[in-house]
Amino acid sequence: MNKLSLIHARDGLKKRKFSSVELVKSCLDQIVKHDKKIHAFLHINSEALSQAQKADVTLPLGGIPVAVKDNFLTIGMPTTASSKVLDEYLPHYESTVTQKLIEAGAIILGKTNMDAWAHGSSTETSDYGSTKNPWNTDYLPGGSSGGSAAAIAADMCTAAIGSETAGSIRQPAAWCGATGFKPTYGRVSRYGVIAMASSTDSPGPITKTVEDAALLTQIIAGHDPFDATTSPLPVPTYSISMHLRAKHLRIGIPKEYLDVMQPEAKKLVLEAVNKLTELGHKVEETSLIHPKYSIGVYTIVQRSEVSSNLARYDGIRYGRDRTYFGDEAKRRIMLGTYALSSGYYDQYYSKAQKLRTLIIQDFHSAFHKYDLLIDPASPGPALKVGATANEPMFGEMQDVLVEPSSIAGLTGVSIPCGFISGLPISFGLIGTQFSESLVLQIANQFQLATNWHLQKPNI
Amino acid sequence: MTSWQPVIGFEVHIELATNSKMFCGCPADHFGKPPNTQTCPVCLGLPGALPVPNAKAIEWCIKLGLALGCQINLTSKFDRKNYFYPDLPKGYQISQYDQPFCHHGELLGHKITRVHLEEDTGKLLHQAGKTLIDFNRSGVPLVEVVTEPDFESVQDSDVFLKELQSIIRTLKISAADMEKGSMRLEANISVRPTNSADLPNYKVEIKNVNSFRFIKKAIEFEITRQSRLLESGVNPKQETRGFSETKGETVGQRSKEAAHDYRYFPEPDIPPIQFTTEQIETWRSQLPKLPSRIRQDLLNLGLSENYVKIIAADEKMFNEFMKKPSKANADSIVNKRPSKSESSFPSSEDTRSVAERVIAANPKAIADIKAGKIQVMGFLLGQIKKELGNIDVPLTQKLINVIIASC
């Protein structure tokens, strides 16, 4: 039962084939059985079963167990963003995303592991120990939403929530063989999400299928009076709009992106592209600003915002002083402080913003010609545990392919398209801002024609 | 012998009297409220909380800018000013850096550099060797008016600051009450030879002065102090000084030789703000008649300068006069005032601080009054009178009682 997709689990609950208690229990059993090894969860909701007993299955997510990344504030459950600075911190208010999930009837199953403060692409920087990849526990799950992606891959929950600043949903989803969907910046509220880089943070789902991602996004998206950067545009009913059969789309493959890929992974991505052609779409090679330039832009902007966002953990509140910051957070605070310092601002931050504008314009002209672009979330499969040691730019190198679309605030999806030595490979699609429906449609067409996303690890 | 000339500029902070705070829904009126009863995740800077700007505060800031003859930036934004202080829960203050709402204004011939909007900080309370933090004030909308350093006399400064207060009150955007801290003055003072047009290579910042009378005294004191230093060949130190009401002197607080690096950058949680010319013109058309205009109208109606001063300064009197704008009516209104000498009384804020000082210097009087020896009141009133001259006796008595009750 814990293996079911969100759509199937919901049908089962509505048709009373099983109860929410049984569904939640099967997930909890899976966690008990395997989470010592995987370490996807930092905290399990002790009320999950009693909440399941009271579940109203007529609600859109009635009785569905959802795992939530530990940077979303949840009343009654510790929220640490995997940093010991916030050890045992109990929030006073609920994040908008989890509030919407609860109102839709979901059961928050627990809080998932992540890179501390979401600083990383491996989950290795978590102060509570790394998460392992369910496909092979010698390998990393990716990050920063590694716990959520691993929980999905290991069937420890029905659906999961992550957040992406640049790749933190799509990359761990890719490494764990899950579906990761990053909505447009401003489509989903950041209120109550511990800020990493405020100008790119985007909450989104990590799920077993595109259909699941559509349903979850539809529930968590929308204008929030508590987040001035959310869009007032109405939220389409993605679970319906994703089934519209867009035909003969023009899809571009940026050759600069393929160049960054490892040959074997690139081969699988090109096979997926062939599948899109078979489905009737017109795919052609195009050219974009090389993604390597985004690394610099993203690094400067993100470190600068991080240095300011982490200033509130000043040792006066929250019980723990700043010595509890890990090395990665310290590095980022120092680099960001430096980049914003007088005399350096023009050289770094200001220049980065100018280049950011150029990248946005580049995408604008690309989306003038193409409906969607191919954008794999990762250059290759998961890397081995320990790969981040002495690699302070590990995340940026791993996320090179999704940094451009993140700094441009676009929407994108990452879906499985094959395996290399038993490790999942994914390809991705990105669309212009607020083109979620189109991205989901094509990703769904691909999943209907393939079964890569249905493969399960042998844990 | 060289003769010296002061160079003075001002930064004035005004707390807006909006219903809610700058970036959250908490009440903005914090004066006298029990500590930390008007807070929420946003103004406490809790993890994940986000600021949503108060549209009314923005409108009021721009209206003040318009009243000061400023140009308005049609594209503006908020910025983060990063610094550590325990009363600043986010580790940064949301302010405006290079695109303030208003710039390049003028008032009474003095240039206004900018008028921008920011948030107030919390308050530190030092009690019994401990420091407590009250966040009721955290996030209250604060307008900052910055002038050019183009004041050359204390008299000019005084007239300007009172006119600014009067404009703010006419706009009804703040009580601009210095005693309660809803209007705060900072003066930058330096001194140069009278024949020089260059800005001196230092400035002394005077902070935390809570009345017009004391800022006047502080400036006068500084001009003398700095001129003497210069005469003896010493360049005054660039520093921040406070004003000691008991000594009537300014006192060094912290040296400001190295400028603070606030690492300003655009506030990513708030999108840039765009206005249309129509929007600005609508706001301009909503401005009430400003004090200078009211005075001119009254003069044009043939009133004496003395009457104009009295009637223009009081909204009730002005409205009464305008019902029947004649000399006879003016006579009757001015003469009807409860006490003709009222305007010559020192302000209640001045009276209060002198009363506090007098009481502090006479601990025995406190005990006596508490023990019921009412006659001591006469002694205290006499002491206060000695300093302030003519005083409003019932008001002063009330103040004495309040101060003693809190001792």
How is A276-288 classified by DSSP, letter by letter?
HHHTT-EEEEE--
pLDDT confidence tier of residue B258, bands split at 50, 70 and 90:
low
The catalytic residue among A25, A69, A100, A266 is: A69
Of A294-303, B42-51, B264-273, B336-345, the least confident:
B336-345
Catalytic residue among A144, A145, A202, A406: A144
Q: Which of B48, B91, B265 sits opposite A73 (nearest CB)?
A: B48
Count of beta carbons in the 10 Å neighbourhood of residue B56: 16
Count Cβ atoms below 10 Å from residue A89 Cβ, excluding itself: 20
What is the chain B residue with the closest CA to A306? B268
Would you call A307 a catalytic residue per the annotation?
Answer: no
Number of independent structural domains in chain A: 1
Confidence (pLDDT) at B343: 54
In a domain, A160, yes or no: yes
| Cis amide leading into B343 (omega within 30) | no
Does the residue A1 lie in any domain? no
CB neighbour burial string for B325-350, b if at least 16 within 10 angstroms, e if fewer: eeeeebeebbeeeeeeeeeebbebbb
Interface with B, mutate which of A198, A230, A310 (most B CBs under 10 A): A198
Q: Residue type for B336, please?
A: K
Calculate how close chain B gets to A68, using CA atoms only, in Å. 15
A285 part of a folded domain: yes
Overall size of chain A counted in residues: 459
Per DSSP, chain A holds a count of helices (H) and strands (E) of 16, 11
pLDDT at B395: 82
Query: Is A130 considered catalytic here?
Result: no
Residue B259 has pLDDT above 70, yes or no: no
**Average pLDDT value over all residues in chain B:** 91
Q: Do A95 and B271 touch (CB under 8 A)?
A: no
Q: CB–CB of B48 and A190 under 8 A? A: yes
Partner A contacted by B25 (CB < 8 A): no
CATH number of the domain that residue A135 is part of: 3.90.1300.10
- Min Cα separation B121/chain A (Å): 14
Give the pLDDT score at A173: 98
Q: Which residue has the tokens 């003075």?
A: B8
What was the pLDDT predicted at B324?
Answer: 85
Q: What is the pLDDT of residues B337-367, one digit of tens each?
A: 665 644 567 777 788 888 888 888 888 888 8
pLDDT given for residue B312 in this prediction: 84
Predicted local distance difference test score (pLDDT) of residue A152: 98
B93 within 8 A of B153, measured Cβ to Cβ: no
How many Å apart are CA A24 and CA A40, to the nearest integer?
16
Q: What percentage of chain B has pLDDT greater than the value 90?
A: 64
- What's the number of CA atoms in the CB half-sphere (13 Å) around residue A164? 37
Mean pLDDT of B179-192: 95
Does residue A459 lie in a domain region?
no
Q: Is the Cβ pair A228, B47 closer than 8 Å?
A: no
Q: How many CB pairs under 8 A join A and B?
A: 91
What's the pLDDT score for residue B88? 96
pLDDT at residue B339, rounded to an integer: 54
- Please enumerate in sequence order all residues whose Cβ is within 8 A of that of A409, keeping only pairs 6 or more positions apart, or say none: A184, A185, A186, A200, A202, A360, A433
CA distance B90 to chain A (A): 4
Residue A168 falls in the annotated catalytic set:
yes
The per-residue pLDDT for B257 is: 47
Output the six-digit token pair for B43: 């103004």
Identity (one letter) of the amino acid at A162?
G
The CA-CA-CA angle for residues A163, A169, A172, to 5°, reads 135
Q: Do B46 and A93 touch (CB under 8 A)?
A: yes
- Sheet bearing B204-209, strands edge to edge: B71-72, B102-107, B110-119, B141-147, B4-15, B183-193, B204-209, B239-244, B249-255
With CB atoms and an 8 Å threshold, state whether B269 touches A228: yes
Residue B45 contacts A, CB cutoff 8 Å: yes
Q: How far is B24 from chain A (nearest CA, A)?
A: 8
Of B48, B263, B271, the CB nearest to A194: B48
Please state the ipTM of this predicted complex. 0.95
Q: Which domain holds residue A32?
A: 6-454
Instruction: Report which of B44, B47, B1 is spatially closest to residue B23, judged by C-alpha positions.
Output: B44
> The tokens 């799509």 sit on which residue?
A170
| Cβ B174 vs Cβ B157: under 8 Å | no
pLDDT of residue B197: 87
Domain membership flag for residue A255: yes
At residue A436's C-alpha, the angle toward residues A432 and A441, to 5°, is 115
Q: Can you tell me the distance from the alpha carbon of B311 to that of B333, in angstroms, rounded to the nearest whole number?
A: 8
- Ranges in chain A, pLDDT < 70: none
Q: Are B244 and B250 in contact (CB under 8 A)?
A: yes
- For residue B268, give how far its alpha carbon lies from the nearest alpha carbon of chain A (Å): 5
Question: Residue A420, SS3?
Answer: strand
pLDDT value at residue B340:
60
The Cβ of residue A149 has, within 10 Å, a number of other Cβ atoms equal to: 38
pLDDT of residue A60: 97
Longest pairwise C-alpha distance within chain A: 66
Nearest CA in chain A to B87: A316
Q: Fill in the DSSP letter of residue A375.
A: -
Percent pLDDT > 70 in chain B is 96
Nearest residue in B to A73, CA atom? B48
Residue A248: inside a domain, yes or no?
yes
Reply yes or no on whether the pLDDT at B236 is more than 90: yes
